[in-house]
Structure 1
Amino acid sequence: MDALLFDMDGVVVDSEDYWHRAEREELLPAVLDGELPDLDEITGMPYREIYDYLDANYETRVSKSEFVDLYDETAETVYREEVELLDCFAEVREAARDAGVPVGLVSSSPPTWMGYVLDRFGLQFDLILSNDEVDGPGKPEPAIYEAAAERFGVDPVDCVAVEDSRNGSLAAERAGMVVVGLRVDHNAGTDLSACDVVCDGSEELLAELSRRLGES
């Protein structure tokens, strides 16, 4: 492993628990008339692209700017007040440091949202990359993971990406990376077939990543 890359939402922090509730109960009913999407359709996508997807496939009743405002307002509460850090993150970060493997945070979330998490938990990464800073479409397309490998100066096939969503795991797989899935309550039924291995909970994730880092 030449680089270890973490998705943020649902991996580094348990934000998907809060996003899914907000989307089911507040956001999507406010945005759409009629049928609502399965959340796996949109989880992991950049939120501006979520609007484009909904507008193309469902009946939207607010403008894109109104949609963005709704998500930005919710994000401030989710990241500043509600989320908790992945149980094993400190141990994984230390193991990566001991192995000399750089660690990146690679997220569909905008820099402002990522900043809320970094500031709240005092996190440091060797690379922090938002889809807003990448040319090309967001997850499930591979552009953000290809950009992360390029910025680290490594081959994507020598990178390990940790993901929890169908869209995110597809993006990393399409970039040619080894994909480690994290299975927890919020994604119990999510299709993670693009992953090379799926870990049930943080203890299994810690064991899997520690083993891989020990071989680096």
Structure 2
Amino acid sequence: MDALLFDMDGVVVDSEDYWHPAERGELLPTVLAGDVPDLDEITGMPYREIYEYLDAHYETTVSEAEFVDLYDETAAKIYRERVELLAGFGDVREAARGSGVPVGLVSSSPPTWMGYVLDRFGLTFDLVLSNDEVPGPGKPEPDIYEAAADRLGVDPAGCVAVEDSRNGSLAADRAGMVVVGYRVEHNAETDLSACDVVCAGSDELREELLGRLAD
């Protein structure tokens, strides 16, 4: 392994446990008239691209600026007050340091949201990369993962990416990385077929990553 890359939402922090109810119960009914998408359609995408997707495929009732404000307000509450850190993350981070493997945080979330998480838990990474900082489309396209490998100076084929969404796992797979899927309650039905292996719960994920770091 030349680099270990973590998605943020639903992996490093359990934010999808809060985003999904908020989107189903409040956000999507507020911004759309009529049908709302299955959450797997949009989970893992940058939120500005979510608006573009909704505007193209559904009936939006608010402007992009209003949509962004609603998501930003919800994000501040979720990341500052509610989320918890992935169990066992510290063990994996220390094992990576001991093996000389850089660890990156690669997220569709904007830098402000990522900053909430970094500050709240005092986290440091060798690379923190938001899709806002990468030219080109977001997940499920591979651009952000290709950029992460380039900035770390490693071959994408030598990277392991940890993802919990269909869009995220497709992005890492299309970049040519080994993809470890993380399966918990919030994504119990999510299509993770692009992953090389899928781990059920934090204990299994921890053991999978520690084993790969020890190889």
TM-score by length of 1: 0.99
AA aligned to 2:104 is G
1:113 Cα deviation after fit: 0.2
Counterpart mapping for 1:122-161 below 5 A: 122-161=122-161
Aligned mates of 2:196, 2:152 — CA distance in 1: 22
| 2:54 corresponding residue in structure 1 | 54
Which residue in the other structure is 1:102 paired with? Answer: 102
Q: What is the SS of the residue equivalent to 1:35?
A: coil
Partner of 2:213: 213
Cα drift, residue 182 of structure 1:
0.3
- How far did residue 56 of structure 1 move? 0.3
Normalization by structure 2: what TM-score? Answer: 1.00
What residue identity is the alignment partner of 1:108? S
The unaligned stretches of length 5 or more in structure 2 are: none
Kindly provide the CA deviation profile for residues 51-100 of structure 1, in whole angstroms up to 9, marking residues without a partner as x. Answer: 00000000000000000000000000000000000001001001101111
**C-alpha separation in 2, matches of 1:207 and 1:195:** 17
Q: What does residue 29 of structure 2 align with?
A: 29
- Equivalent residue runs for 1:67-216 within 5 Å: 67-215=67-215
Gaps of 5+ in 1: none
Q: Which amino acid aligns with 1:88?
A: G
Backbone CA RMSD of aligned residues? 0.3
| In structure 1, distance between residues paired with 2:74 and 2:91 | 30
The separation in 1 between residues aligned to 2:22 and 2:211, in whole angstroms, is 36
Quote how far apart the aligned CAs of 1:171 are. Answer: 0.1
Mapped to 1, the partners of 2:36 and 2:135 lie a distance apart of 30
Q: Output the CA distance in 1 between the equivalents of 2:95 and 2:78.
A: 29
Count of aligned pairs between the two proteins: 215
> Residues of 1 paired with 2:211 and 2:89: CA distance?
15
